[in-house]
Structure 1
């Protein structure tokens, strides 16, 4: 049975977004790939005109909280960013002869081809969850920023370079422009790693 698609209005409230690399391949454990990918995220953000409220680029997936000016812009943004970053990841992987190239090729299935595409880097879809109130907003913010701690990559969120945590502590992440949402107040982030949406 084919799943029905529905479009959420990404211009009214923030949207929590998750997208994953095929086979959970840890491509972003390599700083050069992570930094290129975040640079492409910033370029796509600027071109489409969306607000990135929070983000974390983990070794094999991405979480973000975003808001757009027009309904449907989130899909346009994700398509553009994932397409560009996939090409960049493939170029880097070929240049540095990474073993995961074969996994990218196999991920398209037995046909080995999808139109002109010969490799799949990202899973084709992305998951979204509307953020409808301040409680969900802070749960999402904490989930994003404490993800590297929960995954035992770092001791504290301040130690992970590929997230917006520093933007909420008076600094900057150095890769992506982060916009504060109206729900953000002096309350700030909790120290809990157990926040859920």
Structure 2
């Protein structure tokens, strides 16, 4: 993995993107979206994750994050591992019409890797980019919050439930957000 894409500064503020393998539109199901929200809440409460902005799209999750303990790499690794297992388990509980296809795609993605014993749900890496300037911060906040508008899901960023855009307009969202002063 490139040195360019690592969490180098333990006190840093980072823009990260986690993507489902093959850019599969997994989060078209509410049950899977709820797993992500619940898991992020757990990471906030138990692992010291601070979320400053986020947006869950159909195939990926964008966030601006920092960590109270400075170990973002471990938090994100554990988050992805946990949510992968929960998503696979949830497929048995709900009527997922794409179950066979999804499991086949996740299994095939994990086959070349010895560290994967069953299914690979998330792509490797998060491409963390440390936010060092206000200009870069503004760009990433706008990008995250306008993603659902660009994808024609909503007309206004704050209308999208699975995003912190609501919090930035004074409406409480699904997660506790530490707002960034712009």
Same fold, TM-score > 0.5, yes or no: yes
Judged with a 3 Å threshold, the aligned counterparts in structure 2 of structure 1 residues 93 and 10 are, in CA distance, closer, same or farther, namely same
Residues in 2 aligned to 1:130 and 1:3: alpha-carbon distance in whole angstroms: 15
Aligned to 2:35: 36
Q: Are the equivalent residues in 2 in contact too, given 1:55–1:62 (CA < 8 A)?
A: yes
Question: What are the ranges of 5 or more consecutive residues in structure 2 without an aligned counterpart?
Answer: none
Aligned to 1:108: 110
Aligned to 2:67: 68
Residues in 1 aligned to 2:36 and 2:49: alpha-carbon distance in whole angstroms: 17
Compute the RMSD of aligned alpha carbons: 1.9
Secondary structure of 2:179 counterpart: coil
Aligned length: 177
Aligned to 1:154: 154
Q: Are the equivalent residues in 2 in contact too, given 1:51–1:178 (CA < 8 A)?
A: yes
**Residue 116 of structure 1: CA displacement?**
6.0
State the TM-score, normalized to the length of structure 2: 0.89
Residue 91 (structure 2) pairs with residue 93 (structure 1): yes
Question: What are the ranges of 5 or more consecutive residues in structure 1 without an aligned counterpart?
Answer: 186-197
**Residue 154 of structure 1: CA displacement?**
1.9
User: Residues 73-112 of structure 1, C-alpha deviation per residue, up to 9 Å, x if partnerless?
Assistant: 1111101111111111101123335231111111113x5x
State the TM-score, normalized to the length of structure 1: 0.82
